[in-house]
Amino acid sequence: MERSEYRKRKSRLNANQNLMGWLFVAPPVILFTCFTLIPMVMAVMFSFSSYDIINPPKFIGLKNFERLMKDQFFAIALRNTVTYTLMYVPLGLVLSLGTALFLNGKHRLMTLYRTFFYMPVLSSSVANATMWSWIYNPKMGLLNGLLAVFGIQGPSWLNSSSTAMYAIVIMSLWAGYAGNMMIFLAALKGVPQQYYESAVLDGANAWQRFVHITVPSISRTTFFVSTMLIIGTFQVFDAAYLLTSGGPGNATITVVYYIYNRAFKDLRMGYASAMSLVLFAMIFVFSMINMRLNRAEEV
C-alpha cells in the first residue's frame, strides 16, 4: 500500500510538473504560431494567388513568380539591397569589433565610454532619421558645415543618387553597431588572459596577438554577428523609408520597401508574398554561404 501510494504521489507530482512546464511554454508558442507560423503559411498560399484584400484570393499558379522575373523595379531594389549589404556588413563588423576591443581595455572612464557608445541603440529609428536628416542638410547640416571648415563643398546627401545610399549606410552604422559591439565585448571577456600572457612572453606584438589569439577565439561570435548582419541588411526598410522614401530616382529603394509598396499601396498581396518568398530564399542562401566560409576558416 505504501509503495502504491508513493507511486500515485509521484505520478501526480510529474503531472503537475508537466502542466507547469506547458503553461510556461504556452505563451511563446501561441505568439509564435499566431504572429510567425500562420503568417508564413498564408504568405506561401497567397504567393500562388491574386489577392487584393478586398476580394477573395484567386489561384493563379506561378504567374506571380513569372512576373517577378520581368520586374525591372524589383531588379533595381535587389541591386540596391545587395549594394547596401556589401557596404554595411564589413563596416559593421569592423566598427563593432574595433569598439569592443577599445572597451575591453583598462580605462578610467570605461563605464562612461560604454554608456556613450551604447546610447544610439536606445533611440528610435524615427528619432535617428530626424537627427540625421538635419546632419545631412546641404545648407544648415552639421556634416557639410564640418566639410566647409576644410574648404570642401559638401553634396546634397539625400537628394543625389550618387550619395544617398552612402548616407543611409552611415546612419544605419551609427544606429545599429552598438548591439553587436556588446556581443563582441562579451566574447572578448571570455578569452583566457593566459593566452595573451604566453604570447607576450614569446615576443608577439599586439597585431600578432589579435590575429593568432583574438580572431580564432571569437570566430563563432563573428559568424553569429555576420549572419545577423546579413539577415538584417536584406530586411532593411526603416532607413530608406524615413530618410529618402526610396529616392532619389529609386536609388535607395530596397526589396522590403518595394514589397511594402506593392502590398499596402497597390494592394497586390499575392505579388508581395511571392517577393517575400524570394527574399527568404536569398537570405537563406547567403546565410549558408557565410556559414561555409566560416567553417572553412575554422579548419
Q: What secondary structure does DSSP assign to 153-178, as a single string?
A: ----TTT-TTTHHHHHHHHHHHHHHH
| Residue 244: φ, ψ to 5° | -125, -10
Same domain, yes or no: 71 and 43:
no
Same domain, yes or no: 12 and 102:
no
Flag whether 275 is in a domain.
yes
Which domain range does residue 186 map to?
63-298
Query: How far apart are alpha carbons 276 and 293 in whole angstroms?
Result: 26
In the chain, beta strands by DSSP E: 49-50, 58-59
Flag whether 55 is in a domain.
no
Same domain, yes or no: 40 and 166:
no
Query: How far apart are alpha carbons 148 and 146 in whole angstroms?
Result: 5
pLDDT at 165: 93
Question: How many other C-beta atoms are found inside a 10 Å radius of the C-beta of residue 69?
Answer: 9
141: CATH: 1.10.3720.10
pLDDT at 296: 63
**Where residue 202 falls among pLDDT bands split at 50, 70, 90?**
confident
CA-CA-CA-CA torsion for 153, 157, 159, 165, nearest 10 degrees?
Answer: 140
pLDDT at 297: 60
Residue 133 · residue 158 · CB < 8 Å: yes
For 240: left if phi > 0, alpha if psi spans -120 to 50, otherwise beta; the answer is alpha
Same domain, yes or no: 138 and 230:
yes
Rg (CA), the chain: 25
Q: Which of 40, 36, 62 is nearest to 49 (CA)?
A: 62
> What angle is formed at CA 96 by the lines to CA 94 and CA 101, rounded to 5 degrees?
90
Summarised one tens digit per residue, pLDDT across range 66-97 is 999 999 999 999 999 999 999 999 999 999 99
Residue whose grid cell is 506571380: 64
Query: How far apart are alpha carbons 79 and 58 in whole angstroms?
Result: 31
When divided into structural domains, the chain yields a total of: 2
Flag whether 20 is in a domain.
yes
Flag whether 54 is in a domain.
no
Same domain, yes or no: 35 and 154:
no
Same domain, yes or no: 15 and 146:
no
Q: Coil, helix or strand for 299?
A: coil
Residue 233 · residue 254 · CB < 8 Å: no
Residue 105 · residue 193 · CB < 8 Å: no
Summarised one tens digit per residue, pLDDT across range 228-287 is 999 999 999 988 898 988 888 889 999 999 999 999 988 999 999 999 999 999 989 888
Same domain, yes or no: 24 and 164:
no
Same domain, yes or no: 187 and 283:
yes
Flag whether 287 is in a domain.
yes
Same domain, yes or no: 170 and 39:
no
Summarised one tens digit per residue, pLDDT across range 129-154 is 889 999 998 888 888 899 888 888 88
Same domain, yes or no: 138 and 259:
yes
Same domain, yes or no: 28 and 68:
no
pTM listed for this prediction: 0.86
